[in-house]
A and B are shown apart, each in its own frame.
Chain A
């Protein structure tokens, strides 16, 4: 068990470019979550998957944000046409929903996005 890993750890991009972040959850975990954390704030929930199904996506910040988990293992978060306001830390977490009552969330170290 190597924990939740995220790649890249830091991405610098120019406004208008597309970026993609990858998250590899703990292998036996069937739930995967994306959160965003801006400076001085706590993490903000974006979306989550159970296996390959995206069960909640209404909290994605705009239609420029999308996430996938095609085979129920790793996930990607894509931001199209980035804006300076997208600069933040993007956190991934995973949990085992089969563990009652809720399953602890295990967080990765995050991917920091800087939009110039």
Chain B
């Protein structure tokens, strides 16, 4: 077990709604990254937060937004949900920002109906 916890584990929403996913990073880690993993595909980078500021963003629209708190936990918010947003959302934390020491949570499975 990595020490990275995500909540909820499963979530069902309808198209157009908004959702907030949460991640508690491993103790001592100050960097959090979020990935979207569609069924049968590899994870895709959404964005990364380092010391409460966005430190990089992948090819996702602005309706995907995030926050990092002083305790380094993080939220991923998705507005105006679309059917294609159905996926496993993975949070990963690290202590240096380097991907060599990235620890993943078990993910939140989001279904948009």
Bound together: no
B residues near A, CB below 8 A? none
